[in-house]
Structure 1
Amino acid sequence: MIVSLVKATGAPCPTVVLDGRDLPESDPQLLSALADLRADLSLQGSADVLKNAIVRPSRHPLFDLDYRFVQSLPQSHDSFDLRGSCGHSILAAVEAAARTGMIQPLVPGCRVRVNVLNNGDNVVCEAEETFGDGTRFTAHFLCSPPLELPELLMTGEPVTYVPFEGRTVPVSLVSMGNPYAFVDATELGVDGPDALFGDDPALFDTMTRLRVAVCASQGWETFGAFPKIAAVLPQDGGGLYVRAVSVPSWHPTVALTGAICLGAAAGITGTVPWSLAGSAARDPDALLQVRTPGGCVRVAAHSTSGPDGRRELAWVSVAEKQVEYRGLLPRPRSANGLRSSADPRLTPTTPLPEENSWVPLTA
């Protein structure tokens, strides 16, 4: 089978991209194969790779690719979370699909339509610029049909009060791209961006425990990665600082789906992000500036007025997301249930096809 490694700038680790046509579709067999693949990666010195993207030509006529995300968890080689998605891994999957001949090569201005099987998201990955070892994208998360903004609230309320270690903490539970719990960082004793972005194990532990408390308060499974949790602070002049927990540590920036969800949440009256974002949250056409420990991203949430005058979310976009293609990995030695359709000539050093000579590399 073909296994590619792709790293999105700002992601906590690279993504392993696998051709879904070579994998079993039932969850037990799929997870068994991924566990064996993960053991192989560990032997190759890539135990830190915790993201798996399974991609294939779409069975739906409106999409180019079907995509499924599986989050590896640090507990053991056979520990996974099948819920949720990963925006950085979507871009990685598009890059790998183009590099291995599943779709045509990427050129500036082209758009690849991705059907996210995990949660039904419709994502358009627009190539801004291509270069030798990667691509810079704009990712558009579409709402089709448009959603009234309150529909994104997981509890139906802009703020949910969560019992937490002898007190009550207000959080906003929002699902767009991925489910997130957003909390005002001052509720956790953080007094500014330096404290928020510092490497503070106590703050990390507090946020991890709060995520578990959120799940427990709603009767959700506490094991796994979702919903994710992020703490926010206001920027002078508008915009937000954000710090998010990833698996198994701090996120170095913010997940692409986290930026998408935060942009959507900032447009919903009464949420924690809306309350802190200032004028950017009041103007439906404004760009929301989001500062993270690793830099700044800008989020555009496009909303329209519905028939009853309520705001409806049409799409959320994040620009200038860059991915680096790191090549093909050695063929897995022990993965059970994998159907071998890969060209035996392929090795990690196989040259890529010329940009204007698109030839399939799989049967």
Structure 2
Amino acid sequence: MNDAARHYPPQIRIPATYMRGGTSKGVFFKLSDLPAAAQVPGTARDQLLLRVIGSPDPYEKQIDGMGGATSSTSKTVILSKSESTEHDVDYLFGQVAIDKPYVDWSGNCGNLSAAVGPFAVANGLVDAARIPHDGVVEVRIWQVNIQKTIVSRVPVINGQVQETGDFELDGVTFPAAEIPVAFMDPADGEGAIFPTGNLIDELDVPGVGLLRATLINAGIPTVFVDAADLGYDGTERQAAINGDERALELFETIRAQGALRMGLIADISEAAQRQHTPKIAFVAPPADYVASSGKCIKGADIDLLVRALSMGKLHHAMMGTAAVAIAAAAAIEGTLVNLAATRDTSGGGKRNAVTFGHPSGSLRVGAEARLVEGCWHIEKAVMSRSARVLMEGVVRIPGDSFQA
């Protein structure tokens, strides 16, 4: 026992908060609370976050960590007071791979974006003078991964974040307080909304041939394909896709081809190390279906159907950033998303908002599109989410889990 104590370092304690944001969960850290070696980007930070979440795990269960063995629950967030006078908080998101030893920093998590504002208010990252006793505080967030602004409206009661409420979000079991979130100028980085310049491209997909795709860069780079072109109807739930290895391989092949065409990778082999982006989704006109909760979704109540994959698996609901991409693509006439949302399939309707059906239910999102000097521009995309603290305190990891 004493020999073991001398040879194996004790666990260290790191202040952390476990939060739900939208239909995702993640471990939130203040940058200043991380060990010094992990306060800067690099190997030490990645190793620390991998160990916190419980990756890489060949069993794909993340039993020895905080992850929940799905892309929606294998997430980390690092927050700090913003270095910009125009923002309150700097928000860095890390998508942790489940069975591989890497953290993907290439994009944002739209769902956890809803939890950033409440965390910032509760943890002293927003000027106390701006927080009302009762009301709403607007939190301006700088999304570090994609270098964009997010504006969150956080409800406050008695000077504290209001977490409880009656706002219901399909994919989340219990109601909570509504948090409207606006993604400003959501084209990722400085890139064009349509990297190829086309509303619809044709991808040469091995085993499929030429496949129509809308390649859009809004919220998060996303590859949209038509469900019917792949033999689907858009009402599929997780078991229909995630239980079919051939289907998963096909979607990954399409995603990789889309990434190459969008200029996100230089060689097709690089796609395996960039799982977080781009996303891939398939769309279809509205139809009746039964959601995973047993709720009946009527085609008359939605504008289109969308199913999206994240980190190689069909998502149980919809990623927040992909919802931004859906809103943006729906607002632009002639994209596959806009065509699916137009019941006569003529693509003849400009849409400032759509309600789409996903495996867990439906979601309404809005976006305003403008054509400026031949290029499409999205001023902002808006949706409502909710967020809640699940646990706060410290996480523990072995002291030799990262390079100090």
| Amino acid paired to 1:243 | R
* Cα deviations by residue, 1:164-184 (Å, 9 ceiling, x for unpaired): 124111111111111000000
Unaligned ranges ≥5, structure 1: 339-363
**Pairing partner for 1:162 from 187, 203, 206:** 203
**Pairing partner for 1:152 from 175, 179, 193:** 193
Structure 1 consecutive aligned stretches of length 4 or more whose deviation exceeds 6 Å: none
Under a length normalisation based on structure 2, what TM-score does the superposition of the two structures give? 0.72
* Cα deviations by residue, 1:30-75 (Å, 9 ceiling, x for unpaired): 2122233234984356453411111111010000110011110122
- CA distance in 1 between partners of 2:257 and 2:365 (Å): 29
Partner of 2:163: 131
Partner of 1:71: 95
| Amino acid paired to 1:164 | V
Q: What are the within-5 Å matches in structure 2 for residues 48-127 of structure 1?
A: 48=69, 49-76=73-100, 78-103=101-126, 104=128, 108-127=135-154
Contact 1:64-1:114 at 8 Å conserved across structures: yes
Contact 1:181-1:229 at 8 Å conserved across structures: yes
SS in structure 2 at match of 1:332 = strand
1:317 and 2:382 are equivalent in the alignment: yes
Alpha carbons of 1:122 and 1:283: their partners in 2 closer, same or farther (altered >3 Å)?
A: farther
**Pairing partner for 1:287 from 327, 334, 353:** 353
SS in structure 2 at match of 1:261 = helix
**Pairing partner for 2:254 from 210, 228, 252:** 210
Alpha carbons of 1:100 and 1:310: their partners in 2 closer, same or farther (altered >3 Å)?
A: closer
Partner of 2:16: 3
Partner of 2:9: none
- CA distance in 1 between partners of 2:108 and 2:79 (Å): 13
Q: Offset of 1:153 from its aligned partner?
A: 0.5
| Amino acid paired to 2:19 | V
Alpha carbons of 1:82 and 1:284: their partners in 2 closer, same or farther (altered >3 Å)?
A: same
Alpha carbons of 1:254 and 1:154: their partners in 2 closer, same or farther (altered >3 Å)?
A: same
- CA distance in 2 between partners of 1:335 and 1:82 (Å): 24
Contact 1:3-1:17 at 8 Å conserved across structures: yes
Q: Offset of 1:302 from its aligned partner?
A: 2.0
**Pairing partner for 2:320 from 236, 253, 256:** 256
SS in structure 1 at match of 2:204 = strand
SS in structure 1 at match of 2:213 = strand
1:272 and 2:336 are equivalent in the alignment: yes
SS in structure 2 at match of 1:213 = helix
- Tell me how many residue pairs correspond in the alignment: 329
1:21 and 2:32 are equivalent in the alignment: yes
SS in structure 2 at match of 1:131 = coil
**Pairing partner for 2:64 from 43, 48, 55:** 43
Alpha carbons of 1:176 and 1:26: their partners in 2 closer, same or farther (altered >3 Å)?
A: same
- CA distance in 1 between partners of 2:196 and 2:375 (Å): 19
> What's the C-alpha RMSD, in Å, of the aligned pairs?
3.1
- CA distance in 2 between partners of 1:46 and 1:211 (Å): 25
Contact 1:74-1:248 at 8 Å conserved across structures: no
Partner of 2:170: none
- Provide the identity percentage: 20
* Cα deviations by residue, 1:75-106 (Å, 9 ceiling, x for unpaired): 23x32111011011222232223333333568
Partner of 1:328: 392
The structure, 1 or 2, with the larger RCO (C-alpha pairs under 8 Å, 6+ apart) is 1
Contact 1:33-1:336 at 8 Å conserved across structures: no
| Amino acid paired to 1:89 | L
Alpha carbons of 1:271 and 1:303: their partners in 2 closer, same or farther (altered >3 Å)?
A: closer
- CA distance in 2 between partners of 1:332 and 1:198 (Å): 34
Unaligned ranges ≥5, structure 2: 1-13, 56-61, 157-161, 166-175, 287-298
| Amino acid paired to 1:265 | A
